[in-house]
Amino acid sequence: MPLDLLPVSAPATCCTPAASPAISEQDAVQLARTLKALADPARLRLLSLIAAQDGAEACVCDLIEPVGLSQPTVSHHLKVLTDAGLVTREKRGVWAWFALVPGALEQVTSHLGAHLTGRPA
């Protein structure tokens, strides 16, 4: 049945111009790059394992067994996280220690909130 008691409201309501500026193409690419580094179960667990260690740092030998992946795979994931600026790598003698970058995660979430939050008011 012809509903919409509203006169002609429907046709005009589509394609309204944006009320506020959206995220830029560049910012979207950069933010997506960081999110891609986070968007993997193995890497989330690695970050969580590092965060769970005392001082928020851990050596690779602490991580291989808990995640249940081969050593090269763990090394690969840690490289991805390092390149994304989420962790730092420091060689101490024979061992490589990885530590969370303070504030890195907060920066991601703040960018997300800044661009993707529905109108707060």
Partner DNA sequence: TGTCAATATCGACATCCGTCAATCTCCGCG
Partner DNA sequence: CGCGGAGATTGACGGATGTCGATATTGACA
List phi, psi (to 5°) of 117: -85, 135
* Separation between Cα atoms, residue 78 and residue 85, nearest integer Å: 11
Which residues in 72-91 contact DNA (CB under 7 A)?
72-73, 75-80, 89, 91
45 binds, among a second copy, DNA, none (CB under 5 to 8 A by kind): a second copy
91 binds, among DNA, a second copy, none (CB under 5 to 8 A by kind): DNA
* Separation between Cα atoms, residue 13 and residue 7, nearest integer Å: 12
* Separation between Cα atoms, residue 42 and residue 18, nearest integer Å: 38
The reply to whether 38 sits near a second copy by the rule CB under 8 A is: yes
* Separation between Cα atoms, residue 118 and residue 120, nearest integer Å: 6
Among 71, 79, 90, 116, binds a second copy (CB under 8 A): 116
Question: How many residues contact a second copy, by CB under 8 A?
Answer: 54
Instruction: Write down the least CB distance from residue 72 to a second copy, Å.
Output: 19
Question: x-or-dash pattern for a second copy, window 8-37, by CB under 8 A?
Answer: --x---xxx-xxxxxx-x--xx-xx--xx-
List phi, psi (to 5°) of 43: -70, -35
* Separation between Cα atoms, residue 48 and residue 34, nearest integer Å: 16
Q: Which residues bind DNA (CB under 7 A)?
A: 10-11, 14, 36, 39-42, 59-61, 64, 69-73, 75-80, 89, 91, 93-96
